[in-house]
Structure 1
Amino acid sequence: MGTAMVLDLVLIATAITLGPMHNSAFILLLSADRGLLKGLVFTLTWLVELVVVVAGVLLLTGGAPPSRHSAPSTAGLVVKLTVGIALVVYGERKRRRGATRSRGNPRWMARLDRVSGWTAAGLAILLQPWAMVAAGGATVMNADLSSAATFVALMSYFLLATATLFAMELYATFAPARAHIELDRLRTALTTHQDQAIVVLSLLLGLWLAAKSTYELVKLS
């Protein structure tokens, strides 16, 4: 797995883990009755989704990167280019609508203190940024499973993309009183700056994916 691919995975995983919407929802889950269990269900579901997408891609490629000018290789670049453009368009539209004005979280978040474990799992599926996950899958298409470095890079991708959830879960487990106060403050900050965070993450990752994929496609032509 090349350095450029590892960098792509790091950037994608960072954008995934920093998303304000799922982090706000997760904090509310932790504050609910049996919140630690529901938070764990959410986290594991989130992680499994990432693993399933990557595993599916690797099964299609057989764990060997396709040749540079092959249809699968080109398709992977097209997917990343499409996701990049979509993120830029989404981020720019949100910015023009007034990213500096916070509208708060959706009303359904106020009911997260009463949801079941199954609903927590469903929320993880619903709130997963699937466009970014698709970009991660397209990046993994060129992974070589015969290299030990590939396994390290993939494990790092999974852990980084789930890092904020694991960190908050552990914090709430070992320091529940302090975590309740600090995480509530974090949720308030996320709610206040939610739109700005979405704009920044969408534009930065989108521009990177679009520019890099365009460059690679031009090289293939």
Structure 2
Amino acid sequence: MTLDLILIGLAVTLEPFPVMAFIVVLSAEKGVRKGLAFILAWLACLVVVIASLLLFTGGTPPRAHTTPSTAALAVKLAVGVGLIAYGVHRRRGGTGRPRRDPTPPAKRAVSAWTAAGLAVLLQPWGLVAAGAATVVKADLSHAGSWVALMLYCILATSSLLTMELYATFRPDAAGVRLDALRTWMTDHKDQAIVTLSLVLGFWLVGRSLAELV
């Protein structure tokens, strides 16, 4: 469970679109406060999903080859297949043609509520579903499960937290460098999406099939 959550958490935090949107939020007036609203809404989604699954299982993982465990593996398998299909589709769509957003981030009006809404809308829900299917295995009677769950939430938010702290303590440098990062990601987001989708997709499919057999 822990390794799966680590990989899924890393994939969540490296998703290009939420990162690019967060940079736009930080570049707005009072961007640090609005970035905090984004992060809190982002974390709230993860926590609600995890808490819902733990309430369903009672903190005790279902036995192997029972209906709940098989359903969880089926979800992970479906997400994995979907990621592979999406990665192949994006690759065939032409990852080598970068597209720039001509509107500078600072010119866009963003409110705290907008930032929070963006966090919910841009949450990579397919990956969150894979994480939820993995959380089913959590055994809350063991400290290791608590550590794995906290590590998952931290990893899934780590890119946002890093940028938020950077913008808080080094606002001038952060404005320039984060804008440059956003420009770079705009040019390379397709490659990043393809790589993340295929790597995690094949991992989830392989793990799910191995556990189903």
Q: Is the structural similarity TM-score above 0.5?
A: yes
In structure 1, what residue type is equivalent to 2:76?
K
- Could you tell me which residue of structure 1 aligns to residue 146 of structure 2? 151
In structure 2, what residue type is equivalent to 1:130?
W
Q: Percent identity?
A: 58
In the alignment, the residues of structure 2 paired with residue 12 and residue 45 of structure 1 have an alpha-carbon distance, to the nearest angstrom, of: 19
Query: Of the candidates 53, 56, 72, which is equivalent to residue 60 of structure 1?
Result: 56
- Could you tell me which residue of structure 2 aligns to residue 128 of structure 1? 123
SS at match of 1:193: helix
Q: Give the conservation status (yes or no) of the 8 Å contact 2:28–2:105.
A: no
4+ runs of 1 displaced by more than 6 Å? none
- Could you tell me which residue of structure 2 aligns to residue 14 of structure 1? 10
In the alignment, the residues of structure 1 paired with residue 176 and residue 9 of structure 2 have an alpha-carbon distance, to the nearest angstrom, of: 27
In the alignment, the residues of structure 2 paired with residue 110 and residue 188 of structure 1 have an alpha-carbon distance, to the nearest angstrom, of: 10
- Could you tell me which residue of structure 1 aligns to residue 84 of structure 2? 88
In the alignment, the residues of structure 1 paired with residue 26 and residue 165 of structure 2 have an alpha-carbon distance, to the nearest angstrom, of: 11
CA positional deviation for 1:149? 1.1
**TM score, norm. by length of structure 2:** 0.96
- Could you tell me which residue of structure 1 aligns to residue 29 of structure 2? 33
**1:147-186 CA distances to partner (integer Å, 9 max, x unpaired)?**
0111111111000000000000000000101111111111
Query: Of the candidates 157, 160, 164, which is equivalent to residue 165 of structure 1?
Result: 160
Query: Of the candidates 63, 68, 71, which is equivalent to residue 72 of structure 1?
Result: 68
Structure 2 unpaired stretches of 5+: none
- Could you tell me which residue of structure 2 aligns to residue 102 of structure 1? 98
Query: Of the candidates 182, 194, 200, which is equivalent to residue 187 of structure 1?
Result: 182
CA positional deviation for 1:128? 0.4
Structure 1 unpaired stretches of 5+: none
CA positional deviation for 1:113? 2.8
Total equivalences in the alignment: 213
SS at match of 2:114: helix
Q: Give the conservation status (yes or no) of the 8 Å contact 1:25–1:112.
A: no
Query: Of the candidates 132, 135, 151, which is equivalent to residue 140 of structure 1?
Result: 135
Q: What is the root-mean-square deviation in Å for CA atoms of aligned residues? A: 1.5
**TM score, norm. by length of structure 1:** 0.93
Structure 1 position 214 matched with structure 2 position 209: yes
